[in-house]
């Protein structure tokens, strides 16, 4: 006696409907994934800037000579422009550290407009500065980071939700 087993699986129509529903759900979820990675990217850029200030300060003390933290598009020399294009730590003509550009769509803006910060052999910064690290097209309540460099050469990070990227 030969029994027929019922077929198992999906029909082509069921499969296409399932793929269409999945596509719609993924399209709706994509912006949420972008916002989920925002704090990580902001933290990464802010920490890179803090690391560069700590390096510049410690090298100035160690070398007994001024060390410069400045904007650099090419990673080899100080330049003009904005901090979003990258920065370097420079002692004389020697590049001690080079940081690449911030991720696309992110800004690093100094409140005072400085293109270079000089650390004296005592570890003091020649000028104090506050940097805003944010998304270039912020949304209301969007997160951003402020990196504050004091005149004594200390740097700190603070999270804000101003949502107004300068």
Q: Write the pLDDT tens digit of every residue in 4-52.
A: 767 677 788 888 898 999 888 877 766 666 666 677 888 899 999 999 9
Indicate the SS3 state at residue 82: coil
Q: What is the pTM of this model?
A: 0.74
Question: May I ask the CATH architecture of the domain 38-160?
Answer: 3-Layer(bab) Sandwich (3.55)
Q: Write the pLDDT tens digit of every residue in 41-59.
A: 888 999 999 999 999 999 9
Q: What is the dihedral of CA 55, 56, 61, 65, to 10 degrees?
A: 150
Sign of CA dihedral 155, 43, 63, 60: negative
Q: How far apart are CA 138 and CA 162, in angstroms?
A: 9
Q: Write the pLDDT tens digit of every residue in 74-130.
A: 888 888 888 999 999 999 889 999 999 988 888 898 988 888 999 999 988 888 899
């Amino acid at each position: 006696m030969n029994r027929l087993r019922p077929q198992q699986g999906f029909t082509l129509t069921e499969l296409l409907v399932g793929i269409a529903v999945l596509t719609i759900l993924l399209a709706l979820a994509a912006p949420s994934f972008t916002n989920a990675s925002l704090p990580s990217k902001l933290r990464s850029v802010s920490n890179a800037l803090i690391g560069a200030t700590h390096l510049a300060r410690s090298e100035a003390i160690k070398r007994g000579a001024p060390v410069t933290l400045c904007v650099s598009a090419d990673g080899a020399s100080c330049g003009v422009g904005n901090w979003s294009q990258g920065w370097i730590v420079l002692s004389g003509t020697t590049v001690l550290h080079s940081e690449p550009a911030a991720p696309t769509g992110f800004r690093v803006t100094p409140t005072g407009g400085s293109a270079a910060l000089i650390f004296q052999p005592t570890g003091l910064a020649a000028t104090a500065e506050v940097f805003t690290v944010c998304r270039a097209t912020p949304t209301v309540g969007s997160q951003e980071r402020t990196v504050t460099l004091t005149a004594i050469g200390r740097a700190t990070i603070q999270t804000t939700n101003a949502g107004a990227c300068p």
